[in-house]
Amino acid sequence: MRARQWRVAVCAAAALAVSACGKTEAGRPEPPAAKAPVVPVEIVKTTGDDVAETVRREVVRAKADKRALLVYVGAKWCEPCQYFHDAAAAGQLDATFPGLRLVEFDLDRDEEALERAGYSSRMIPLFALPRDDGSGSGEQIEGSIKGPGAVAQITPRLRELIAKRR
């Protein structure tokens, strides 16, 4: 073999050894690329006391944690609320809404306090952007379809609502 051919063959073999099958020079598989951790959706249960003060505290905490914050109003009897709540609690919305924090209120227990704080709607579930003082901003979405399609119906509307905050 001529010197030039030998050098080409050696270079080609070295390139194959380094890149073949995603293995390191020692022959071990390369570790998979690290994925950024997904920050799960957090549901903050409330007591139904002073709604505006509760939400104001959560606004401060969300800013410090660099999380999006929404007020979420549902009820045990509300089928779309149950589907959404269960999906969020099970981590099924973590990739779609990473870092979202929901301050959850129960309509049956908290209706009057919610209205005083500016969180009223004709339908539930209600998702609302709060003001810094904890009161409702009027930017909100409400209602959904019944059945297992509720989460899919809520998701794009929720994305739009969250985008208004940014």
In the chain the beta strands, taken as DSSP E runs, fall at 42-45, 68-74, 100-106, 126-130, 136-142
Q: What is the model's pLDDT at position 111?
A: 95
- Whether residue 56 contacts residue 134, with contact meaning beta carbons closer than 8 Å, is answered with yes
Angle in degrees, CA 83, 144, 73, rounded to 5: 70
> With the CA atoms of 55, 153, 120 and 90 taken in that order, what torsion angle do they form, in degrees rounded to the nearest 10?
-40
80-98 mean pLDDT: 96
Rounded CA-CA distance 7/11 in Å is 6
Q: From 139, 155, 56, 54, select the one nearest 104 (Cα to Cα).
A: 54
**Domain assignments of the chain as residue spans, ordered by start:** 1-33, 42-165
Residue 58 burial class via C-beta count within 10 angstroms: exposed 0-12, middle 13-18, buried 19 and up: buried
Structure tokens at 88: 């969020």
pLDDT at 160 exceeding the cut of 80: yes
Res. 41 pLDDT band, cuts 50 70 90: very high
> In terms of pLDDT, which residue wins out, 5 or 74?
74
Residue 30 predicted with pLDDT over 80: no
Beta-bridge partners for 73? 105, 126
pLDDT value at position 166? 63
From the list 52, 70, 26, the residue with the least C-alpha distance to 161 is 70
Q: For position 102, what pLDDT does the model report?
A: 98
pLDDT > 90? residue 61: yes
Least confident of 33-42, 50-59, 88-97: 33-42
What was the pLDDT predicted at 136? Answer: 97
Q: What is the pLDDT of residue 14?
A: 44
Query: What's the pLDDT score for residue 38?
Result: 82
Class of the CATH domain delimited by 42-165? alpha beta
Q: What is the pLDDT of residue 27?
A: 59
